[in-house]
Amino acid sequence: MAMKPSRPGPSSSMNGGAPDAPSQVQVRTDKLENATSLQRQPNTEPDLAGYRVVWRATTADQWQGAQDVGNVSVATCPTPRR
């Protein structure tokens, strides 16, 4: 799994470039459940729309699933089944 930043639209970027990648992303392991929770440090960019969590099997060369999670510090997504 990975977290990718997103913006509301191409003209909304205040700095003219892509948003910063999330920092200090960790998988939370404090619960035993059929989902994966990721946490990260809050992003201070004012025009950040949120994040999309993407995933794929380790053998896949393309992302196989995605979930928009908004501008949150903790996101929980279903664990893909094989």
The count of residues in the chain is 82
54 is written with which tokens? 């993407």
Reported as a pLDDT band with limits 50, 70 and 90, residue 4 is low
Number of H helices, E strands in the chain: 0, 6
Predicted local confidence at residue 61, as pLDDT: 94
Quick: pLDDT tens for 22-74.
889 898 888 777 888 899 998 888 888 888 888 888 899 999 989 898 888 99
Euclidean distance between CA atoms 43 and 41, whole angstroms: 6
Distance CA 61, CA 9 (A): 27
The pTM (predicted TM-score) of the whole model is 0.66
Could you tell me the residue range of the domain that residue 60 belongs to? 2-78
Q: Give 78's Cβ-side CA count (13 Å radius).
A: 7
Number of domains, the chain: 1
Containing 53, the helix (H) or strand (E) segment is: strand 50-55
**12 — phi, psi (to 5°)?**
-90, -5
